[in-house]
Amino acid sequence: MSKSNWNPKSGNFLRLGVLLLGAFIVLLPLFVVFLTSFAPPGGAVEGLPKNDWTLANYRDAWERGRFLIAFANSTLVAIAVTAFQMVTSALAGYALARLKFRGKQALLLVVLATLVIPFQLLVIPIFLVLKWGHMINTYWALILPTAVNGFGIFLLRQYFQTIPVELEEAATIDGANRLQILWQVMLPLARPALVTLFLFTFIAEWNDLFKPLVFTTRPELRTVQLALAEFQEQFTNNWPLMMAAVTIATVPVMVLFLIGQRQFIRGIAATGIKN
Q: What is the CATH number of the domain that holds 197?
A: 1.10.3720.10
- On whether residue 63 sits in a domain, the answer given is no
- Residue 104 located in a structural domain: yes
Domain membership of residue 3 (yes or no) is no
Q: Which domain holds residue 263?
A: 71-270
Contact status, residue 225 vs residue 253, Cβ threshold 8 Å? no
pLDDT tens, position by position, 78-135? 999 999 999 999 999 999 999 888 988 999 999 999 888 888 888 999 999 999 999 9
What local confidence, expressed as pLDDT, does residue 259 receive? 81
Taken in order 112, 118, 120, 122, is the CA torsion positive or negative?
negative
For residue 241, give Cα distances in angstroms to 43, 46, 56, 61, 246. 10, 15, 9, 6, 9
Q: Are 241 and 228 in contact (CB under 8 A)?
A: no
* Residue ranges in the chain whose pLDDT is less than 50: 1-2, 273-275
Predicted pLDDT at 275? 43
Q: How many domains does the chain have?
A: 1
Residue at 16 is within a domain: no
- Asked, for residue 92, whether it belongs to a domain, the answer is yes
Q: What is the pLDDT of residue 274?
A: 45
Within a domain: 182: yes
The answer to whether residue 30 is domain-embedded is no
Domain assignment present for residue 26? The answer is: no
What's the pLDDT at 212? 93
